[in-house]
Structure 1
Amino acid sequence: MDKKLGFGFMRLPLLDNNDQTAFDTKTINKMVDAFLARGFTYFDTAYTYHDFKSEVAIREALVKRHNRDVFTLATKLPPRILQAVADQERIFNEQLEKCGVEYFDYYLIHNIGVSSYQQALKYDTFGFAMDKKQAGRIKNVGMSFHDTPELLDEVLTAHPELDFVQLQINYIDWENPGIQSKICYEVARKHNIPIIVMEPCKGGNLARAPEEAEELMKAYHPAASIPSWAIRFAASQEGVLMVLSGMSTLEQVLDNTSYMADFKPLNDTEYKIVNAVTEIINANTAVACTTCRYCVAGCPKNIAIPDYFALYNSAKLATCDNISSQFVYYMNLTANHGKASECIECKKCETACPQHLKITEHLKDVAKTFDAAPALPAKPK
């Protein structure tokens, strides 16, 4: 794998944004074809993505339409949802069927944190994955990780058999005390384990930036896209094997592959610009949500948490007090979802959140902004 860009099947284009399984098949096919045509081979999915249908999407767009030897496929087993040892065999066989393959090139124990690690230990998920590797159904066993450097060190020390680790690395989280990307990266380097990067653009948040930040980047690289800075930052770190991008449009595929085809690490001047951009973004971001949507599934009030946070961030970034457009979107969402003010603070969402956000507190802020906002004026007759 010479090229460091991977295609994440986590944020696929949809025909209906209210239905995570309403795939825009024609666009996805074009995206996959363009990615492969430009010499990139790594595809990443997971059992739970897109309401448990991402693996089906990858079968239809990739596996059925291209020879098995021209792509590398990764998927993930989520310990968090296990209720019995037998669930692992059932899920694994289901994944093989959904993806339409006989083996996985990369197989991850998904979203390891304090609680999910205990689940993985309870059901010997690491042993299960290694058994499948021995049987030839998996080529490389790893884990995706969202927790503290201390826990990462503990897990990697206990499981030296892992072939790789997948970490959230991006310039906004590099020094973030909640995510601690840099320290987690340093722990992985200490264990001399290859790193695959997820969330290099932090769920698309780094694909756009405040005007002041964009001006800094464009002044140095007028032709370079804003997300290229984020992906190149992640790929520039020593020991990084692959950088995943959850691409949603053909334009994103063409842009990402254009600069990653002949990847050049950031230079000293670019690092200084990234540091300045980080300060600007931190001063302008209200909620650091990546829209992974892990929080949504268990919500008893069916609150559209990531969608509300995106609208809230947009409202806070608005250059004036007029939030009418965000309010319209919010009201449209509440037609089929609970309002932010209906949160009962069960905190299931916070347990599932890889970013360790205080979601219930943020929802109170959303409620103050939108639920307390005056109704839009009626259209004149």
Structure 2
Amino acid sequence: MKATFNEKKLGFGFMRLPLLDAKDPKSVDMTMLCDMVDAYLAAGFNYFDTAYMYHGFKSEIFLRKSLVERHPRDTFTVASKLPTMQLKEAEDMPRIFNEQLEKCGVSYFDYYLLHNLNVENCKIASKLDAYQFIQAKKAEGTAKYIGFSYHDQAPLLDEILTSYPFFDFVQLQINYLDWDNESVQSRKCYEVAVKHGVPVVVMEPVKGGILANVPEVVSEHFKTASPDKSIASWAIRYAASPENVKMVLSGMSDLDQLKDNMSFMNDFKPLNKTETALVEQAVSIMNETIAVPCTACQYCVDDCPQQIPIPNYFALYNSRKMGPQEGFSILNLYYANMAKNNGKASDCIACGKCEKSCPQHIEIIKHLKEVAATFE
């Protein structure tokens, strides 16, 4: 049975909570968080998403204190995740799962996910039979719906959903900048989910804040079209518009962000053709301001002796440079995934074959060094 969700598509992500000290992820402003939780529930929203590792392993505790201890259990749903990247042996799974129930203060999860399946973590999940474990949790009633969050490319997603057709939903990174990005492959991953009839929960709709703090020229583009709409609203509505998207998570860091999101998601309207065209134009503008003007023609790849996926790395690098340069970026994870089965940027031997074949005359060798310095 595929997962069902609240008709209101805005999910409350417990990954970027309000902080008293921006450098300390454990310093959550509980007063503001409680106000945000109360306002969110009062408006008819109910989907809360947390994970074992968020906020220095304290996010689930913050959820218990702000939500579970203060509101009736039947007024909200909770999603949490089994951290595949931290599993060493099979015994870790029941230990962590029971710890999560206790930290959240619940007797069951409405939605439970294998966290961050990718080329490497799939090996861990297979070795320890995490697939059987999560099925068992559904069978015993401690996880009503089971799914997985995914940070990799479309072919592997197709393999997973073909091999394990019992999943009730999948959580994907979807936003307008990544929709046609050949490294992240948001569109292709979404299409795989549709092919398998699996509902989609969206993460990173504003790409870690990048699409809420766009370049000035893009901001003016949106404000000229609709002065009253926030910049973030374009990104979240874009991510929520595909028919198979059932929930869009937003990591909201203050009450104003929450109120803004609720203002356009309370009575959600998908983007119309005119609005979609405006977003596509914004993507073109942003791509013109990118650090490396790579068109992904792939000419540089064929003769690379180190088998470096140069256009893919440049796509990740361009996205990374558009956002905040401090702190963790999910793009580092995409780079690490890709580097496991391909040459790293630092493997470049400066043979020059790529630059000779590049129709854009890009200084590829120089930029690969920048990629390596950013991601390695």
Give the TM-score normalised by structure 2: 0.79
* Distance (whole Å) between structure 2 residues aligned to residue 365 and residue 274 of structure 1: 29
Which one of the candidate residues 255, 259, 266 is aligned to 1:261?
Answer: 266
Q: How far apart are 1:284 and its partner, in Å?
A: 3.0
* Distance (whole Å) between structure 2 residues aligned to residue 165 and residue 359 of structure 1: 31
Structure 2 unaligned residues grouped into runs of 5+:
1-5, 293-317, 347-365
Amino acid in the other structure paired with 1:38: A
Answer yes or no: is the 8 Å Cα contact 1:79–1:116 preserved in 2: yes
Q: Which residue of 2 aligns with 1:351?
A: 336
Q: Deviations over 1:266-324 (max 9, x none)?
A: 0111111101101122233559xxxxxxxxxxxxxxxxxxxxx9996579xxxxxxxxx
Amino acid in the other structure paired with 2:260: D
Q: Indicate how the Cα distance of structure 1 residues 17 and 286 shifts in structure 2: closer, same or farther if over 3 A, else same.
A: farther
* Distance (whole Å) between structure 2 residues aligned to residue 348 and residue 99 of structure 1: 27
* Distance (whole Å) between structure 2 residues aligned to residue 312 and residue 152 of structure 1: 27
Which one of the candidate residues 117, 125, 147 is aligned to 1:120?
Answer: 125
SS at 1:204 equivalent: helix
Q: Does the alignment pair 1:6 with 2:11?
A: yes
Q: Which residue of 1 aligns with 2:43?
A: 38
Q: Which residue of 1 aligns with 2:173?
A: 168
User: Across the two proteins, how many residue pairs are aligned to each other?
Assistant: 319
SS at 2:80 equivalent: strand
Equivalences for 1:50-129 in 2 at 5 Å?
50-129=55-134
Answer yes or no: is the 8 Å Cα contact 1:166–1:198 preserved in 2: yes
Q: Does the alignment pair 1:207 with 2:212?
A: yes
Q: Does the alignment pair 1:231 with 2:236?
A: yes
Answer yes or no: is the 8 Å Cα contact 2:10–2:262 preserved in 1: yes
Q: Does the alignment pair 1:24 with 2:9?
A: no
* Distance (whole Å) between structure 2 residues aligned to residue 187 and residue 311 of structure 1: 26
Identity %: 54
Answer yes or no: is the 8 Å Cα contact 1:200–1:245 preserved in 2: yes
Equivalences for 1:215-226 in 2 at 5 Å?
215-226=220-231
Q: Which residue of 2 aligns with 1:301?
A: none
Amino acid in the other structure paired with 2:203: M
SS at 1:75 equivalent: strand
Q: How far apart are 1:14 and its partner, in Å?
A: 1.0
Q: Indicate how the Cα distance of structure 1 residues 149 and 214 shifts in structure 2: closer, same or farther if over 3 A, else same.
A: same
Runs (4+) off by over 6 Å: 309-312, 358-364, 366-369
Answer yes or no: is the 8 Å Cα contact 2:152–2:337 preserved in 1: no
**More divergent stretch after superposition (13-22 vs 172-181):** 13-22
* Distance (whole Å) between structure 1 residues aligned to residue 264 and residue 47 of structure 2: 16
Q: Deviations over 1:177-234 (max 9, x none)?
A: 1101001100100001111000010011101212221222112221110010111011
Q: Which residue of 2 aligns with 1:274?
A: 279
Amino acid in the other structure paired with 1:2: E
* Distance (whole Å) between structure 2 residues aligned to residue 119 and residue 359 of structure 1: 26
Q: Which residue of 1 aligns with 2:354?
A: none
Q: Indicate how the Cα distance of structure 1 residues 255 and 362 shifts in structure 2: closer, same or farther if over 3 A, else same.
A: farther
Give the TM-score normalised by structure 1: 0.78
* Distance (whole Å) between structure 2 residues aligned to residue 310 and residue 180 of structure 1: 13
Q: Deviations over 1:10-52 (max 9, x none)?
A: 0111111221111111111111111111110000000111111
Amino acid in the other structure paired with 1:351: A
Structure 1 unaligned residues grouped into runs of 5+:
288-308, 316-325, 334-346, 370-381
Q: How far apart are 1:79 and its partner, in Å?
A: 1.1
Answer yes or no: is the 8 Å Cα contact 1:106–1:139 preserved in 2: yes
**More divergent stretch after superposition (206-215 vs 71-80):** 206-215
Q: Indicate how the Cα distance of structure 1 residues 352 and 10 shifts in structure 2: closer, same or farther if over 3 A, else same.
A: farther
* Distance (whole Å) between structure 2 residues aligned to residue 22 and residue 366 of structure 1: 32
Q: Which residue of 1 aligns with 2:254?
A: 249
Q: Deviations over 1:302-361 (max 9, x none)?
A: xxxxxxx9996579xxxxxxxxxx9xxx8xx9xxxxxxxxxxxxx99953799x9x7979
Q: How far apart are 1:108 and its partner, in Å?
A: 0.5
Q: Does the alignment pair 1:191 with 2:196?
A: yes
Q: How far apart are 1:368 and its partner, in Å?
A: 9.1
Q: Indicate how the Cα distance of structure 1 residues 272 and 90 shifts in structure 2: closer, same or farther if over 3 A, else same.
A: same
